[in-house]
Amino acid sequence: MPLVRISLQAGNADSYRTAISNGVYEAMRETLNIPDGDRFQIITEHGHGQLIADPSFMGMTRTGDFVLIQIFLSRGRTTEIKQALYRRIVEKLCVSPGLDSDNVMIVLTEVGLDDWSFGRGEAQYVLNPPVWAQSKEKIPA
């Protein structure tokens, strides 16, 4: 279900973008309990001065390799699950394409189960809530 927007500097190879795309997807599979194939990503490349990240805010050292990952996902994940997601994305992207962990920023935005239509004009999660959402344990009051 999540919709992912990945923003990075222009000028990298296809394989670089593919590595980021794969890493984010795999980390989401491992930590968010999303099903196989739930992969919807928009990757945008930005010219000089159009992807702006403070070089040192929060004690990081950010460079031109900075990548901003914004994920829209259904409400209900605990803080612990979100923390596991952040860790896993960064672990993956440090291995491939070899980013420095300081260069990976992640922002989540939560939406409702009735905020998704995957095609055919249907609200699939209204008719069939995803497995993870069927456990009351994981949904905050």
Among 9, 30, 115, 133, binds its own copies (CB under 8 A): 115
Under the binding rule (CB under 8 A), the answer on residue 30 touching its own copies is: no
Under the binding rule (CB under 8 A), the answer on residue 29 touching its own copies is: no
For 97, other C-beta atoms within 10 Å of its C-beta total 19
Q: Cβ contacts of residue 82 below 8 Å, gap of 6+?
A: 108
CB of 135 to its own copies, least distance (A): 19
Among 45, 96, 132, 133, binds its own copies (CB under 8 A): 45
Under the binding rule (CB under 8 A), the answer on residue 63 touching its own copies is: no
Helix (H, G, I), strand (E, B) or coil at 114: helix
CA 113 and chain centroid, separation? 18
Among 124, 132, 133, 139, binds its own copies (CB under 8 A): 124
β-bridge mates for residue 43, sequence order: 6
